[in-house]
Amino acid sequence: MPTGFIYSQDFLYHNANSTIPHYENSDRLLACLNRLHQSSYFNSLFFLK
């Protein structure tokens, strides 16, 4: 299993959806995670294609 696997979109959203709803900025944080995941910089850091 590649190291970047734990940083996959499903992992991020699963953890965000289970822990962040307690905070008022949950929607903003989820949107930020989504933008990060779509960025080539983020992908180059964690997936190293």
- The per-residue pLDDT for range 2-47, each reduced to its tens digit, is 445 555 555 555 555 555 445 555 677 777 777 776 776 666 666 5
- Burial string for 6-33 (b: 16+ CB within 10 Å, else e) reads ebeeeebeeebeeebeeeeeeeeebeeb
What's the rounded Cα separation, in Å, for the pair 25 and 39? Answer: 21
Residue listed under structure tokens 């590649």 = 2
Whether the per-residue pLDDT at 49 is higher than 50: the answer is no
Better pLDDT: 49 or 41: 41
